[in-house]
Structure 1
Amino acid sequence: MIHQETRLRLVALLAGLGEGAEAEFGWLQGVLGLSEGNLSSHLRRLEEAGYVEVRKGYQGRRPRTWVRLTPKGRAAYEAHRQALLRLLGA
């Protein structure tokens, strides 16, 4: 699931924020350089796999979406990262 480049970048970014930390959709979109639809599509796949949680709400009167990595997602990312490091002989 996370071997696809964009999803790997997304999960790595969320993992780097720290356990339980949330990122705002617009911030993710800007950092990753993705369109709204593209980011939504990747988030939907990760959410269906149980790797991220998406929370919608408001900040003042403005609708916002926040994303966080789940423990399952963090474990999958770490396993993938370790496999890549083994392949590289690090």
Structure 2
Amino acid sequence: MAEANRAIDPDRPSSVLRSVAGAAQDGAPELDRLIHERVRLGIVSALAVNRSLSFNELKSMLGLTDGNLSVHARKLEEAGYLECTKSFEGRTPRTDFHLTDSGRASLEAYLNHMEALIQAVRDR
């Protein structure tokens, strides 16, 4: 327990940061910047635990504007991480999103990468 409460000297470079930086230089896989962005991580995470979500459900869940969700969803769609289907409910347009296999695999790889970084910090 005392180990977890030890003070960090801000004037001394952290060996953890050096080891993480070294791993990046040694050819460790890059962090998926597309998913790493907060809104896009929220979108793929929400879709990972829901079979599909409508535009309005995602917008409400993540507290986004129409434009913000549209831009981020389009980037994920262009990367092949999610699919968008458009339909009508009566006369009302409906847009639904679901995560593709590629999107699910990319999220899994991203989470594994983050867990490895967290473990490297905790092991120091």
- So what's the TM-score if we normalise by structure 1? 0.93
Q: Mark the runs of 5 or more structure 2 residues left unpaired by the alignment.
A: 1-33
Equivalent residue number for residue 73 of structure 1:
103
Equivalent residue number for residue 7 of structure 1:
40
Q: Deviations over 1:61-89 (max 9, x none)?
A: 21100000000000000000111111111
How far apart, in 1, do the equivalents of 2:94 and 2:103 lie? 22
Q: Mark the runs of 5 or more structure 1 residues left unpaired by the alignment.
A: none
Query: Does residue 24 of structure 1 match 2:57?
Result: no
Equivalent residue letter for 2:86: K
Q: Work out the percentage of aligned pairs sharing the same amino acid.
A: 45
Equivalenced residue count is 87
1:13: Cα distance to partner? Answer: 0.7
Tell me the secondary structure at the aligned position of residue 114 of structure 2: helix
Tell me the secondary structure at the aligned position of residue 85 of structure 2: strand
Structure richer in strand, relative to its length: 1
Alignment RMSD: 1.0
- So what's the TM-score if we normalise by structure 2? 0.68
Q: Which has the larger radius of gyration?
A: 2
Equivalent residue letter for 1:46: L
